């Protein structure tokens, strides 16, 4: 890019000047001195015509950039990016010791660069670990997050940062991910028909509802992930949504009950933050960030990666989605990729649930394509992908900066595709309206609970965690007291109103725990239900945990024994739904739920 900016590109593609550093996993700018700039006899670069010695400054730039932290701007230099010629040229940049030769010149920099090149040749075996650090996962999220590792330099930072569209999260969600807990990212595909060629898909006046919604949950230890699809026609409760207005005020958009999930976006001017709130209301999972994609995002991202490989178990000719493909494998991009994702009447039962399976297969294949060497080792493809991703998606204001995206991307980079599971919220046909669905109350709570408790849906990752869980589970093993001997005070620490009395009635009338008391609201709320007990009350705690389905992690033993008549303290948290509903997550997902593995290709039926 530097050479191109001075009219001396010599046929160089700017994107090909970005090289993967195997030690850091970042792409860095490498500028090779052009033939007309040989060093002088003194060891200093010859004075090529430039203003204020800019050429000499730029000649040493590669070695200095290698020493910079990714994304750190040079003190007084901005170079050009494609589409932006020239830029400010520094005149007073000080030389670092590594750039000076023995006599104070820059000959040492060239020698160091040559030595670095030799060392790089010897250390190519470490490239594999470097590539792993550059990986980020799944679908549109992966494409967007790859920006962080593909654009470590300040040059690209300015360019791509200008592409990002960020909107307010309106105080919804957690306020941002952190390293010490699981990560939840909500990806929303809208049905808005804006953009060239999209008006022909019908419903061109759509305000942009939540047509395709996937909640990506990444485990705390970053070993596994679950991608949960939420059907657009699911009957759900949309809560009240405080929403920032253009004039700086906040307007609360009233919630609704018994409406389709897709109305959580667009309807009544609802924003993505309202969809975040609706997902939390539905699943009990707090969302860290959201990303929104429209029809154009599908077309540009699939094209940027060089097409996505899909498989059909039969010929498909769908007049609604305009998909016309023969049985077998195909590589889809642009309009064809969008048509594939919109197809529903020609696959499965012709429902939105059948289309969700297609979407999951597509995203799984896209994930594998993006993590392939063919993509990761091509600076041109990475640049094109980053360009498409930053222009195509809208994100919340907490990650509206390339550096924040980079941090998020590196958190997700270690997830192995074989430990990623695509699944769908378990639903049943709505008996009152066959065009919509309702939660399967037997299976959906199990799925939500597994995600809240950070339980892997894949056996590989689950086995790794088994040893750590075994010690914790020991709390539940041993003798249990009789229900009549269990003493417990019940507090409401963030559960729905009336939960403490609901639990008390159930314990006394159905379980025979007569020595129980409703203590109303707890001094402070808890994140999830917990039972505090003394060592000499362990048998009582095990009995109560068995009754209520409490997990081992919910049991909080103290260090000293309690008096004979002292009660245990049960504090109900936001995870408490109603008495009799188990609060502990199952160790295994229900067998009947729909699932697609992240490392396998499945042919659409």
Structure confidence by residue, pLDDT tens digits, 2-38? 444 444 444 444 445 555 565 555 555 555 444 444 4
DSSP 8-state class, residue 90: -
Which pLDDT value is given to residue 415? 84
Does the pLDDT at position 474 exceed 50? yes
C-alpha 594/C-alpha 102 separation (Å) is: 67
Which pLDDT value is given to residue 17? 53
Which pLDDT value is given to residue 439? 95
Instruction: Report if residue 119 sits inside a domain.
Output: yes
Instruction: Report if residue 590 sits inside a domain.
Output: no
| Residues 163 and 63 grouped into a single domain | no
Does the pLDDT at position 599 exceed 60? no
| Residues 156 and 270 grouped into a single domain | yes
| Residues 372 and 223 grouped into a single domain | yes
- Percentage of the chain lying above the pLDDT 70 cut: 65
Mean pLDDT to the nearest integer, 579-599: 63
Mean pLDDT to the nearest integer, 52-63: 39
Instruction: Report if residue 221 sits inside a domain.
Output: yes
* 459 or 374, higher pLDDT: 374
DSSP 8-state class, residue 22: T
What are the tokens at 298?
């599908």
Which pLDDT value is given to residue 341? 86
| Residues 116 and 10 grouped into a single domain | yes
Instruction: Provide the CATH number for the domain around residue 517.
Output: 3.30.70
Exposed e or buried b per residue across 550-583, where buried means at least 16 C-beta atoms within 10 angstroms of its C-beta: bbbebbeeeeeebeeeebbbbbbbbbbbebeeeb
Q: Which of 131, 156, 179 is the last residue of a domain?
A: 131
Instruction: Report if residue 283 sits inside a domain.
Output: yes
Closest by CA to 382, choosing from 114, 47, 135, 22, is 135
Instruction: Report if residue 527 sits inside a domain.
Output: yes
Instruction: Provide the CATH number for the domain around residue 235.
Output: 3.40.630.190
Instruction: Report if residue 166 sits inside a domain.
Output: yes
| Residues 370 and 485 grouped into a single domain | no
Report how far apart, in Å, the C-alpha atoms of 46 and of each of 4, 79, 105, 106 are.
19, 21, 12, 11
- Percentage of the chain lying above the pLDDT 90 cut: 36
Instruction: Report if residue 112 sits inside a domain.
Output: yes
Report how far apart, in Å, the C-alpha atoms of 187 and of each of 363, 460, 550 are.
12, 26, 31
| Residues 101 and 167 grouped into a single domain | no
Range of the domain at 13: 2-131
Q: Which of 80, 104, 131 is the last residue of a domain?
A: 131
Give the number of domains in the chain: 3
Does the pLDDT at position 262 exceed 50? yes
| Residues 234 and 359 grouped into a single domain | yes
Q: Which of 405, 423, 457 is the last residue of a domain?
A: 457
C-alpha 380/C-alpha 206 separation (Å) is: 36
* Mean pLDDT for all residues in the chain: 74
| Residues 117 and 211 grouped into a single domain | no
Does the pLDDT at position 463 exceed 80? no
Angle 562-565-568 (CA atoms, 0-180°, nearest 5)?
60
pTM of the model: 0.61
Asked whether 266 and 260 are in contact (CB, 8 A), the reply is no
Instruction: Report if residue 315 sits inside a domain.
Output: no
| Residues 550 and 446 grouped into a single domain | no
Mean pLDDT to the nearest integer, 234-242: 97
Which pLDDT value is given to residue 363? 85
| Residues 28 and 108 grouped into a single domain | yes
| Residues 552 and 488 grouped into a single domain | yes
| Residues 489 and 561 grouped into a single domain | yes
Which pLDDT value is given to residue 595? 59
pLDDT tens string 517-528? 999 999 999 988
């Amino acid at each position: 890019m530097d050479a191109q900016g001075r009219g001396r590109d010599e046929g160089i593609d700017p994107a090909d000047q970005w090289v993967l550093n195997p030690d850091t996993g970042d792409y860095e700018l490498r500028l090779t001195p052009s033939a007309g700039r040989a060093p002088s006899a003194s060891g200093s670069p010859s004075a090529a015509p430039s203003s204020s010695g800019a050429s000499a400054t730029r000649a040493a730039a590669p070695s200095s950039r290698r020493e910079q932290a990714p994304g750190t701007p040079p003190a007084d230099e901005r170079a050009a990016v494609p589409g932006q010629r020239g830029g400010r040229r520094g005149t007073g940049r000080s030389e670092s010791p590594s750039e000076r030769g023995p006599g104070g010149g820059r000959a040492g920099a060239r020698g160091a660069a040559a030595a670095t090149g030799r060392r790089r040749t010897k250390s190519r075996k470490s490239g594999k670990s470097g590539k792993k650090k550059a990986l980020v996962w799944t679908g549109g999220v992966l494409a967007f997050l790859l920006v962080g590792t593909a654009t470590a330099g300040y040059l690209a930072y300015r360019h791509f940062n200008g592409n990002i569209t960020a909107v307010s999260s309106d105080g919804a969600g957690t306020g941002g991910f952190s390293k010490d807990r699981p990560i939840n990212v909500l990806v929303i595909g809208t049905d808005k028909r804006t953009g060239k060629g999209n008006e022909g898909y019908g419903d061109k006046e759509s305000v942009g509802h939540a047509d395709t919604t996937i909640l990506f949950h990444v485990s705390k230890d970053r070993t596994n992930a679950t991608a949960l699809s939420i059907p657009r026609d699911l009957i759900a409760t949309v809560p009240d949504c405080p929403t920032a207005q253009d004039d700086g005020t906040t307007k609360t958009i009233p919630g609704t009950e018994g409406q389709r999930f897709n109305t959580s976006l667009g309807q009544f001017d609802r924003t993505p933050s309202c969809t975040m709130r609706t997902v939390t209301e539905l699943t009990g999972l707090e969302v860290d960030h959201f990303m929104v994609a429209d029809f154009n995002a599908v077309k540009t991202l699939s094209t940027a990666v060089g097409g996505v490989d899909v498989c059909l178990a039969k010929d498909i000719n769908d007049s609604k989605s305009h998909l016309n493909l023969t049985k077998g494998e195909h590589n889809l991009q642009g309009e064809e990729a969008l048509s594939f994702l919109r197809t529903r009447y020609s696959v499965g039962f012709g429902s939105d649930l059948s289309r969700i399976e297609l979407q999951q297969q597509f995203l799984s294949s896209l994930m594998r394509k993006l993590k392939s060497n063919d993509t990761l080792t091509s600076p041109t493809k990475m640049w094109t992908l980053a360009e498409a991703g930053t222009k195509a998606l809208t994100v919340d204001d907490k990650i509206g900066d390339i550096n924040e995206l980079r941090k998020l991307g590196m958190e997700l980079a270690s997830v192995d595709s074989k430990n990623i599971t695509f699944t769908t919220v378990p639903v049943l046909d709505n008996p009152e309206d066959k065009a919509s669905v309702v939660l399967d109350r037997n299976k959906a709570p199990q799925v939500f609970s597994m995600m809240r408790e950070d339980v892997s849906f894949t056996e590989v990752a689950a086995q790794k965690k088994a040893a750590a869980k075994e010690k914790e589970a020991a709390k539940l093993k041993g003798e249990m007291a009789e229900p009549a001997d269990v003493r417990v005070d019940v507090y409401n620490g963030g559960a729905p109103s009336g939960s403490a009395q609901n639990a008390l009635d159930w314990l006394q009338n159905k379980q025979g725990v007569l020595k129980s008391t409703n203590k109303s609201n707890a001094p402070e709320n808890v994140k999830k239900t917990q039972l505090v007990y003394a060592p000499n009350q362990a048998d009582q705690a095990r009995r109560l945990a068995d009754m209520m389905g409490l997990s081992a992690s919910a049991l909080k033993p103290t260090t000293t024994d309690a008096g004979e008549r002292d009660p245990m303290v049960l504090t109900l948290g936001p995870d408490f739904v109603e008495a009799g509903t188990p609060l502990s997550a199952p160790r295994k997902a229900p067998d009947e739920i729909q699932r697609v593995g992240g490392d396998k290709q499945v042919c659409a039926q």
